[in-house]
Chain A
Amino acid sequence: MMTRRWHYVLFVVWVLALATTPLWASNYIVRLAIMIAMYTTLTLSWNFIGGFTGYPSFSTAAFFGLGCYAGALSQRSGVPMVLAWGIATLFVGAFAAALGAIILRLRGHYFAIGSIGIVEVVRLVVSSWGSLTGGGDGLNLPLLSGGPNAVARIFLAVMIAIMVVTFVVTVIVDRNRFGYGLRCIQQNEDAADMVGVDTTRYKVIAYFLSALFCGTVGAAYASWIGYIDPNDSFSIIMTIKVPVMCLLGGPGTVLGPVVGTAAFTLLEEVFWANFLDYNRAILGAVIVVLIFFLPGGLLGLSYRDIAARIAKPHRRPKTAS
């Protein structure tokens, strides 16, 4: 299909744009590219459970933070960096699979609340288990040696690589019976169940996928920054931003998360560089506008729809007056 091919072309172009930043931009831009790649992975991951399956998960920060800590603790025990990332990935995946079996029995609001609760509980546990995690002091990681340029390039490559892998998995899921099954669950879970879709297994796998690469980027992020603490690793702001990025681009699509993350991150960049005091308010305003005028995300944008929505208040409400 024409559209599918365009997806891949656009994605490749974007990857090249990010990957070549060291060649044509300052280290600050390279850093921005690293963060974009990292958040794209998080958003693509969220897309599995939130976009395809329609379960509004707010657990991203829990997975990311656990990845940070698993990676950090491994590295501090002498495990080589890349292997530590692998361990973190597996750990977070296993955690999500076990947790998913329990929590995916909930739906809608309750699932959302439960998933936020997970973030808080994990943060509190990590924070109070001081002997293992350093508690409020945080953890130092062995710093990768090398000048800032070299380190930046390495981590850019790493984050892009993880992003590409996640994208590929997304494509596979999208074109696969598994993805189709997830979409069925989103449309009507009970009907899907009756038609023979193994809803529990599919949901758990989706939740597992939504966590796996969060663990990887968490560990990589920890190695890059060299220091982590519970408050920044398990950030509620991150756990809300990621679904917003996906909503902005178009949930349940392959390219939506990529576009959404890019647009959101760059918007943020523009705003807090120029509107110091009110950047949070502006972020909030962006979210509000997004919800109203872009229900299908940027990729589903239709100016006619927007015009209709603006005109809505003048229509009578459906209920009797």
Chain B
Amino acid sequence: MAYLQTLVNGIVLGALYACLAVGFSLVWGVLNIVNMLHGSLIVLGGYLTFFAWQGYGIYPLLALPVVALLLFALGYALQLAVINRVVSEPVLTTLTLTFGLDLILYNFMTVYYTATPRRVTLDLGAIDIGGIVMPVDRLFGMLLALVLTALLYLVMRRSRIGRAIVAVRMDSAAAALMGIRVNRIYAVTFGIGALMAGATGVIFAMVYPVTTNLAGIYLGKAFVVCVIGGLGSVPGALAGGIVLGVIESFAGQFFGPQHALTVGFVLMLVLLVVKPTGLTGIKGYE
């Protein structure tokens, strides 16, 4: 029975992790860029949500589309203006560039918002189904995360833009020959990545304290989920997130909370060596 609770905890946590990682995975898989800004973008989404709630009483769910759009615009602009120039460069260049950009964003947020932990105090309580307790806000977050990832999946599969993104990912030269404006697609993809980060930030603001101190931790999780699940694939991020959530949950129970995080990272390293393409077997660029 206790195991069932642990499993449920893990799945709910895992859905949050999946939402966190899906934008990151997309950018990495399609653009071949490790977006070190991801954690900070999540926190930015969180701050926008918090101030909307505190200043204007706007319920986070309502703030979600606005925040998401704002961040999409930010990501799109950033990509077109700055990141586009290094898209085909080796990982050292791109990683360092996004790291530099992250330092700038992080610094401005810390100065402007200060690192004091903020919380959107909704206090929705928990529901109890047959002895298994599930906090309402996490459940809500999980549902939202699933909805968003499903939407993203549909967009990727069905819409023109989505298919263009997949085409560019598979072969950018061929895609260009087919009339796809590759640069624009790159910008849209990065924008989507930022949008998902922002949406995650909104969801997380309901569950976690909002503070720049957590940006690095979110980024670290994104890495691990992507390696576990496979890159550039929405189902991969979902699978990876849930697996990580469940593993951390059980590790926390069996090894003690002290070692829960270590297990995640060790797993990532092992997978990297043994099966870097992760669960879904989708190969990112080298």
Give A contacts to B, CB under 8 Å: 50, 54, 56, 102-103, 105-110, 112-114, 116-118, 120-121, 124-125, 128, 236, 240, 243-244, 247, 277-281, 283-288, 290-292, 295, 312, 317-321
Hey, which chain A residues are within 8 Å of B176, CB to CB? 318-320
A125 to B269, CA, bound (A): 14
Knowing A109-B91, A113-B227, A319-B176, the reply to whether A283 touches B96 (Cβ < 8 A) is no
Q: How far is the CB of A215 from chain B (nearest CB, A)?
A: 21
Q: How far is the CB of B268 from chain A (nearest CB, A)?
A: 5
Asked if residues B273 and A105 are in contact (CB atoms below 8 Å), the reply is yes
Knowing A110-B276, A287-B100, the reply to whether A116 touches B91 (Cβ < 8 A) is no
A13 to B172, CA, bound (A): 49
Q: Which of A112, A121, A320 contacts B95 (CB 8 A)?
A: A112
Asked if residues B103 and A283 are in contact (CB atoms below 8 Å), the reply is yes
Closest A-chain residue to B223, C-beta based? A113
Asked if residues B272 and A321 are in contact (CB atoms below 8 Å), the reply is no
Asked if residues A287 and B177 are in contact (CB atoms below 8 Å), the reply is no
Knowing A128-B258, A320-B179, the reply to whether A277 touches B111 (Cβ < 8 A) is yes
Number of interface residues of B (CB under 8 A): 49
Q: Which of B268, B284, B285 contacts A117 (CB 8 A)?
A: B268
Q: A50-B92, A108-B91, A124-B265 are in contact. List 5 more A-B contacts (CB 8 A).
A: A109-B91, A117-B272, A284-B102, A288-B104, A319-B176
Q: Which of A103, A277, A278, A285 contacts B100 (CB 8 A)?
A: A285
- In this complex, the member of B86, B97, B103, B183 whose beta carbon has the largest number of chain A beta carbons within 10 angstroms is B103
Hey, which chain B residues are within 8 Å of A243, CB to CB? 92, 96
Q: How far is the CB of A237 from chain B (nearest CB, A)?
A: 9
Hey, which chain A residues are within 8 Å of B100, CB to CB? 283-288, 290-291
The 7 closest A-B pairs by CB, nearest first: A287-B100, A284-B103, A281-B107, A319-B176, A284-B104, A56-B92, A280-B107
Q: Which of B85, B108, B272 contacts A114 (CB 8 A)?
A: B272
